[in-house]
C-alpha cells in the first residue's frame, strides 16, 4: 500500500503543484497566525481554488471560536478543518453539525495516558493526527519533535490515524516501519528555513513515500 502524505504549511500554488505531481493526498493551509507558515485569507483562497478537485484541502486552526472559524470557511473552500489546540469533543461535534465539514483533530502524544484520548476523539473526527505538541492558548508554538514511535506502535486500529512530528526524508522509512502507519503529515522537514518549503525537498519526500 502506497504511503499517504499530507503536506502541511503550503504557501503558494507552486507548492501545491509539487504536491499534486508527487501524489500527496492532502495539503494543509495554516491559519494559526503565530506560525511561520501562516497565510492570509486572500492567499488561501487562491491556493484553494487552484487545488479544488486535484488534492484535498485542509485548514489548520487552533483555539478559534465558531465565528472566527466561519470567517475562514466562508472565504476559503476547504475539505477538512484540522484542530490543533485544546478543542473538546463537544466543540468538534458542534462544528461538524453547523459547518458540515470533515474534521482532523491533532492530539499531543507524550505518554500512555495521552493515547487513551484517541478513542474519544475518534467519535467526532474523520482523522486523528498524532503529534508531539498542540497549541495551548497564549503560548507560542514550539518546534516539532519526533514522536516516541515505540509508544504508538502498539495502537491497534491505525486506519484513521496520521503520524506527525518532525518527519523528513531521513527518518520517514524508519518511522513508518517502526509504527506501521500508512498516513503521515510533514511540514518543517520540507523546509530550508522555518516556514519556507523547498520544492526539491517536497519532490524527494513524495518520491520516497511512493516506494514505502
> Which grid coordinates are listed for 197?
518549503
Estimate the crossing angle of helix 172-179 against helix 199-209, to 10 degrees: 40
Collect the ranges in the chain with pLDDT lower than 70.
1, 137-146
What separation in angstroms does the CA of 195 have from each of 36, 51, 67?
5, 20, 27
> Positive or negative CA dihedral for 142, 144, 148, 152?
positive
> Which grid coordinates are listed for 208?
520516497
pTM, entire model: 0.94
The tens digit of pLDDT for each residue in 105-126 reads: 999 988 888 899 999 999 999 9
What separation in angstroms does the CA of 180 have from each of 74, 111, 150, 207?
37, 19, 11, 19
Identify the pLDDT of residue 145: 65
Amino acid at each position: 500500500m502506497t504511503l499517504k502524505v499530507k503536506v502541511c504549511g503550503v504557501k503558494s500554488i507552486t507548492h501545491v503543484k509539487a504536491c499534486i505531481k508527487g501524489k500527496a493526498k492532502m495539503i494543509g493551509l495554516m491559519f494559526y497566525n503565530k506560525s511561520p507558515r501562516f497565510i492570509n485569507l486572500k492567499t488561501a483562497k487562491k491556493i484553494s481554488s487552484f487545488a479544488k478537485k486535484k488534492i484535498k484541502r485542509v485548514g489548520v486552526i487552533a483555539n478559534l471560536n465558531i465565528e472566527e472559524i466561519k470567517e475562514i470557511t466562508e472565504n476559503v473552500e476547504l475539505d477538512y478543518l484540522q484542530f490543533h489546540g485544546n478543542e473538546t469533543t463537544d466543540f468538534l461535534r458542534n462544528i461538524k453539525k453547523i459547518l458540515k465539514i470533515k474534521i482532523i483533530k491533532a492530539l499531543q502524544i507524550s505518554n500512555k495516558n495521552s493515547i487513551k484520548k484517541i478513542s474519544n476523539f475518534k467519535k467526532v473526527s474523520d482523522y486523528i493526527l498524532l503529534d508531539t505538541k498542540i497549541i495551548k492558548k497564549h503560548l507560542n508554538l514550539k518546534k516539532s519533535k519526533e514522536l516516541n514511535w515505540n509508544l504508538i506502535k502498539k495502537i491497534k486500529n491505525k486506519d484513521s490515524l496520521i503520524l506527525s512530528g518532525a518527519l523528513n526524508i531521513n527518518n520517514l522509512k524508519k518511522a513508518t516501519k517502526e509504527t506501521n502507519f500508512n498516513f503521515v503529515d510533514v511540514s518543517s522537514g520540507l523546509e530550508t528555513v522555518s516556514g519556507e518549503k523547498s520544492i526539491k525537498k517536497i519532490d524527494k519526500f513524495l518520491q520516497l513515500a511512493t516506494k514505502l
